Amino acid sequence: MPIISMFYGIIIRMYLIDNQHHNLPHFHAKYAEFEASIRIEDGEVLAGELPRKQLRLVQAWIELHRDELQADWELAVAGENPYKITPL
């Protein structure tokens, strides 16, 4: 599961060939002992949880990089390594 970005103690990963969550474009964010799957389209938490402050940071990051995240998702579901994305 490649790390595509890290900022403020938050690690963003995208699994290769991830079939969870009905193939909704998403990524995984980890902060301390918290972890969540977050939908790329709108920043909604699909599973798990993050503290409110960190979730807002992740959602702001999504707004800045949605197109890059979508492109990375397409690479990942094809089994290819996604590209790194600039941190927040």
What pLDDT, on the 0 to 100 scale, is given for residue 20? 63
- Those residues of the chain that have pLDDT short of 70 are 18-22
Residue 78 corresponds to which tokens in the numbers above?
A: 């094809």
Nearest alpha carbon to residue 56 among 38, 41, 68: 38
pTM above 0.85, yes or no: yes
What pLDDT, on the 0 to 100 scale, is given for residue 22? 59
Give the DSSP letter of residue 35.
E
* Three-state secondary structure call for residue 30: strand
Q: How many CB atoms lie within 10 A of CB 73?
A: 19
